């Protein structure tokens, strides 16, 4: 398959990504200095300085397993015939980009779309599969909240929390899942006329990608490919395990059910346009977990450790994948990164 010679988008150029990485490092250092030096945060400082190195190391291993799960899920969704090396290069690069660019999930997928287009995959297929990938990756969290919120609301597991913090998130998650499942019924809409404006064409293409991608996500899930299921569940579960382990590191025994319930709502802060989501995810997680009953000082310390691990592990592993992919594409070592046609 012939490759498509498309330049890397300016926002994803190595020099710009390097500057963004530096910005995130500065923000992380600033957050740590605030926690260590600001009067009145003695409880946070105590938890950070007394953090158990063994648990921090375990949390880092959990994040590496989450990274690996993302790579496992990437291959069967985008191109089953792709080599595992290529899946690691593109998927790992996506996670590295996502750790330093605002709206990280979309930015990482944008890099993956460029790499797949560079390999010759049709734009329409990339758009559909990107939507499917994001939906499958996110759906595990919503299903987990729906199940966990329900069993907590009816008292099967503890600790006891009000229906506002259990049944309501469960109901909203079920509603979100139902809306996604019904989305394909809207149809892709009529194609724009030949004289349509660029904005209208872009809107029409976006609608088609969302509708068709949602339909493909449902088909992929129904196919029950074990790699997709293992990857999607593993990516979510290991990332939750990182947060749980950082709580153990700072000496706070927060129930796993509270960690899981706080994870979804807290992660919404990552949608804010802040480099690497620094401050957005952290504030969302801290606020949500405290509302669910976790100690404020221990939660702030645990989330700071979680944020540091969430930044460095994907960035370090993904940077190696990024360099490997760039070298291969520049030297035409593997122009056929993915042949979407089945073998005969």
Q: What is the pTM of this model?
A: 0.83
The pLDDT of residue 19 is above 80:
no
Q: Give the pLDDT of residue 175.
A: 93
What is the distance between the alpha carbons of residues 74 and 80, in angstroms, rounded to a whole number?
9
| Mean predicted confidence (pLDDT) in 86-113 | 79
Q: Which two structure tokens, joined as six digits, stand for 236?
A: 């979510």
Residue 305 in contact with residue 59, Cβ under 8 Å?
A: yes
Tell me the pLDDT tens digit for each residue of 157-192: 878 889 988 999 899 999 989 998 888 888 887 888
Mean pLDDT of the chain: 82
Rg of the Cα trace of the chain? 21
Spans of all domains in the chain: 10-188+197-330
Residue 217 in contact with residue 137, Cβ under 8 Å?
A: no
């Amino acid at each position: 398959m012939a490759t498509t010679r498309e330049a890397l988008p300016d926002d994803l150029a190595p020099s710009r990504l390097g500057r963004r990485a530096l910005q995130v490092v500065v923000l992380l250092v600033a957050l740590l200095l605030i926690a260590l030096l600001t009067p009145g945060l003695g409880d946070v400082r105590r938890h950070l300085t007394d953090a158990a190195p063994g648990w921090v190391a375990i949390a880092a291993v959990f994040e590496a397993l989450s990274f690996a799960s993302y790579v496992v899920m990437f291959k069967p969704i985008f191109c089953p015939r792709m080599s595992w090396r290529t899946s690691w290069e593109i998927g790992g690069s996506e996670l590295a980009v996502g750790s330093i660019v605002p709206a990280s999930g979309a930015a990482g997928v944008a890099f993956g779309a460029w790499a797949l287009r560079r390999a010759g995959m049709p734009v329409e297929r990339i758009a559909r599969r990107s939507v499917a990938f994001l939906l499958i990756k996110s759906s595990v969290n919503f299903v987990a909240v729906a199940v966990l919120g329900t069993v907590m609301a009816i008292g099967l597991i503890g600790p006891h929390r009000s229906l506002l913090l259990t049944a309501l998130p469960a109901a909203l998650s079920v509603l979100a899942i139902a809306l996604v499942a019904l989305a394909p019924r809207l149809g892709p809409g009529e194609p724009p006329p030949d004289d349509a404006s660029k904005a209208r064409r872009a809107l029409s293409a976006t609608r088609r990608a969302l509708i068709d991608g949602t339909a493909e996500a449902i088909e992929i899930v129904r196919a029950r490919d074990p790699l997709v299921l293992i990857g999607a569940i593993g990516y979510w579960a290991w990332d939750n395990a990182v947060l749980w382990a950082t709580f153990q590191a700072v000496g706070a025994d927060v129930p796993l059910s509270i960690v899981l319930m706080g994870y979804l709502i807290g992660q919404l802060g990552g949608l804010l346009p802040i480099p690497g989501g620094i401050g957005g995810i952290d504030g969302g997680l801290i606020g949500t977990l405290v509302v669910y009953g976790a100690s404020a000082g221990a939660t702030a310390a645990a989330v700071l450790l979680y944020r540091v691990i969430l930044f460095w592990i994907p960035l370090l592993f993904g940077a190696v994948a990024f360099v490997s992919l760039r070298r291969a594409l520049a030297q035409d070592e593997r122009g056929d990164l993915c042949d979407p046609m089945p073998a005969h």
